[in-house]
Chains A and B, each alone.
Chain A
Amino acid sequence: MAKEAVLESVYEKEELLTGCQAVSHAVRLADVDVIAAYPIRPYTEVMDYISKLIADGKFDAEYIVADSEHSQFEIVKHAASVGARAFAGSSGTGWMYGFEAIVVTATDRLPVVAMVGNRALDDPGAFGVEHNDALSVRDLGWLLVWAATAQEALDTTLIAYRVAEDPKVAMPCAVALDGAFLTHSQHMVKVPTVQAAKRFLPPYNLGSRRLHPDNPISIAPQVNEDWLMEIRRQNFEATKRAKGIIYQAYKEFNEVFKTNYEQPFFEEYMTEDAEAVLLGLGTISMPAKSAVRRLREKGKKVGFVRLRWFRPFPTEELRSCLSRFKGIGVVDRDLSYGSPDLGGVVFNEVRSCLYPLEEHPRVVNFIAGLGGREISIDDAVMMYEQSLRATKEPSDARVTWVGVRE
């Protein structure tokens, strides 16, 4: 009864939506002013859906089909500079084509929100998910978050605007959705009302940094060695502050929508007495959670940790969480050629996060599901078994490629 009342007041409807469609609704609910599109799958469906919302008069925004991803991201960057709320997105090498603009969006401190429909980087061509596209912004000031369900994609996009536009942060945010597995798979999604979204998300206000004749400022003049370090430090501090703002934003979100986001940065699943856990991003949670349930039936003490926010990285929180386990298997849907121990990006970040602990859990790495290859429940079971084994008999095999034909 109480739950239904809430549904009535803050949600307009509940319907079957893909991840892309859910993000589109968030963009509409955020009353975004400028949207720039350019085709590359799998992110494209978000623009298909937004353009239809605009065509049908359900959403009012300037919608531009750009000539390239570079122009796409320059358009939204400059729209944000005059005080307009802006949205763009891309996938794979499209994201890389826009990269110059993506870099300066962060260094100009313009809180654009972009969706990345994760896709393998060419060559050879593959439409399926791989995380290297989105991970490429990890050192650039962009906030970076992964969603695992369509509902979470909608919620996270609204939260992304709230965090990115906070005057204490003013940094762009990338919302990553696994290509196909989330961008194009349907879930039941509760769509908030415009009023509720407004209650949660304050208007975008760039304040004294807005480019307008009433505020005649010069943005990004040449600084050279005289000032660059100080400006870098300011941006760096902003990304640090984002952590606190993320906690605040989820708290506010929970209050308005009666949701249950406890720890914004990661989700724990059946970890309470776990000896070994897998850790991964995005839709890996589906096979991982199924495997946990299967193994629990057999009395194996395993759980799953799904990292949502990769930037800012929840160092202390994750360190304290992971220190409870004996074995950790990090699943990377990405590659880092020639990296320490030849492991994935997430693996090496997690290991680095755990380094200050006196006693380390055993951390192993799985390279899995590249180019959109499915990670099956059996794959996940195998990864759990190997992670459990590693707690008892450490071997030198730190990195395993799952299911690769050799």
Chain B
Amino acid sequence: MSFIPEEQIKKKLFKGVHDVPGEELYTSGHRTCQGCESALVMRQFVKAAGPRTVATGSTGCMYVANTSYMTTPWVVPWMHTQLGAGGSSAVGMAAGLRAMMRKGKITNEKINVISFCGDIGGGDMGLSGISGALQTDYDLLIILYDNESAANTDIQATGLTTWGAQTTFTPTGTKHRVMQKRWKKNVAAMLAVGHPTVKYVATACATFPPLDFMNKVTKALETGGPTFIHSLDPCPKGWDYHPRYSHEVGELAIKSGIFPLYEIANGVVTYNYDARKNRIPVKEYLLNQGRFAHFTNAETDFVQSMVDEMWEEWELPGILPVKSSLKVST
């Protein structure tokens, strides 16, 4: 809304690590696993947003592992919300703050409203509410932290789990080698395409390229209106690899092109890593992880063919799954 002073909205992008504030707003007190990239997403988004922020977190591992009674890591005000309420919780806070500022019940200032949800909260159950939020004109940011499973309930498959991955709901067996037969949803693109008034949508990985995610948070908050970021978060527990390799696994996901890295700002698409060229073979990403240990060449070849198709045949490479150009029936 225009009544917020302009100087409170303008933010500087981070050009190097020295630009990043030392102050931690997500600090000790959480119980996330070693090598947890979702915890890094938490730490980085709130660093980029700064202390004048209110946040909600949908049920998920960033609720259960983060916030135990009396040991919260959150320095900013934070509230739990329900699994399907990633969008609606942000709308509620933003609407409440706007109404009270307009009526003079609280001080007029820019307060960042951020809601984060996991891959069920953002990609499955919460989709309707997020879609509703993206139709409003409130300033809010929804962050989907995607570790490709219901990680806090013991690694169950979701609509965003990579095809073929073993999870506790999709084990490999003697009759069916692959039980997870759903191709990962393209959530950010789906939301961008479906909500033409939204001014900023992006995908991200907290560690690659460095500072990219924090800058995307900054841009989203500065752009205003409802915005959305989908981050891919390698999860040592769920993906079955040694925690020391979390950053590398994320980097391989981007470089292999299985997770396209892009932002759509005011309708302009930018690839933050151009996987149209210089793609590394996807098996370098897959075979580092125990959840794909049952893969034979048939499965890796299939995933590779799908990734190649994304980048070589889609209308908008990696983003828009339309293969032929426009036809008009007469």
Interface hub of A71, A84, A212 (most chain B Cβ within 10 A): A71
B128 touches A67 (CB 8 A): yes
On chain B, the residues within 8 Å of A321 by CB distance are: none
Interface residues in A170-210 by Cβ distance below 8 A to B read: 203
Known A70-B88, A80-B96; contact A60-B103, beta-carbon cutoff 8 A: yes
CA distance A213 to B101 in the complex (A): 14
Interface residues in B240-261 by Cβ distance below 8 A to A read: none
On chain B, the residues within 8 Å of A80 by CB distance are: 92, 96
B129 touches A84 (CB 8 A): no
Whether a CB of chain A sits under 8 angstroms from the CB of B102 is yes
A34 touches B95 (CB 8 A): yes
Contact among A104, A203, A215, A223 with B69 in the assembled complex (CB-CB below 8 Å): A223
- B117 nearest CB across to chain A (Å): 12
A84 touches B53 (CB 8 A): no
Whether a CB of chain A sits under 8 angstroms from the CB of B316 is no
Interface residues in A341-358 by Cβ distance below 8 A to B read: none
CA distance A33 to B54 in the complex (A): 18
Contact among A67, A82, A224 with B129 in the assembled complex (CB-CB below 8 Å): A67
On chain A, the residues within 8 Å of B67 by CB distance are: 218, 221-222
Known A71-B128, A211-B93, A215-B77; contact A33-B99, beta-carbon cutoff 8 A: yes
Whether a CB of chain B sits under 8 angstroms from the CB of A57 is no
Interface hub of B51, B79, B87, B97 (most chain A Cβ within 10 A): B79
Contact among B79, B81, B98, B111 with A213 in the assembled complex (CB-CB below 8 Å): B111
A75 touches B92 (CB 8 A): yes
Whether a CB of chain A sits under 8 angstroms from the CB of B89 is yes
Contact among B64, B88, B106 with A83 in the assembled complex (CB-CB below 8 Å): B106
Known A82-B93, A213-B54, A221-B69; contact A75-B88, beta-carbon cutoff 8 A: yes
Whether a CB of chain A sits under 8 angstroms from the CB of B44 is no
B68 touches A67 (CB 8 A): no
Whether a CB of chain B sits under 8 angstroms from the CB of A79 is yes
Interface residues in B41-70 by Cβ distance below 8 A to A read: 51-54, 56, 63-64, 67-70
Interface residues in A28-78 by Cβ distance below 8 A to B read: 31, 33-34, 36, 60-62, 64, 66-68, 70-72, 74-78
Whether a CB of chain A sits under 8 angstroms from the CB of B76 is yes
B82 touches A84 (CB 8 A): no
For the complex, would chain B's binding face be called helix, strand, loop or mixed by DSSP majority?
mixed
Give the residue name and chain of the A residue nearest to B69 (CB).
A223
Known A68-B129, A226-B69; contact A84-B95, beta-carbon cutoff 8 A: yes
On chain B, the residues within 8 Å of A104 by CB distance are: 82
Known A34-B99, A100-B82, A226-B69; contact A218-B74, beta-carbon cutoff 8 A: yes
CA distance A60 to B77 in the complex (A): 27
A221 touches B100 (CB 8 A): no
Known A67-B129, A75-B88; contact A219-B82, beta-carbon cutoff 8 A: no
On chain B, the residues within 8 Å of A203 by CB distance are: 105
On chain B, the residues within 8 Å of A60 by CB distance are: 99, 102-103
Whether a CB of chain A sits under 8 angstroms from the CB of B132 is yes
0/1 string, A127-164, CB within 8 A of B gives 1 = 00000000000000000000000000000000000000
- Chain B residues packing against A (C-beta within 8 Å): 51-54, 56, 63-64, 67-72, 74-82, 84-85, 87-93, 95-100, 102-103, 105-106, 111, 128-129, 131-132, 135-136
- Chain A residues packing against B (C-beta within 8 Å): 31, 33-34, 36, 60-62, 64, 66-68, 70-72, 74-84, 86, 100-101, 104, 108, 203, 211-213, 215-224, 226-227
Which 10 pairs from chain A and chain B are nearest by CB? A78-B92, A84-B96, A67-B132, A79-B96, A221-B67, A74-B88, A71-B88, A218-B72, A33-B99, A219-B79
Known contacts A64-B91, A221-B72, A224-B69; 14 additional CB pairs below 8 A are A33-B99, A34-B92, A60-B102, A60-B103, A70-B129, A78-B89, A79-B93, A83-B100, A84-B97, A211-B77, A219-B78, A219-B80, A220-B80, A223-B69
5 inter-chain pairs at a CB distance below 8 angstroms, sorted by A residue, are A33-B95, A75-B91, A78-B79, A101-B88, A221-B80
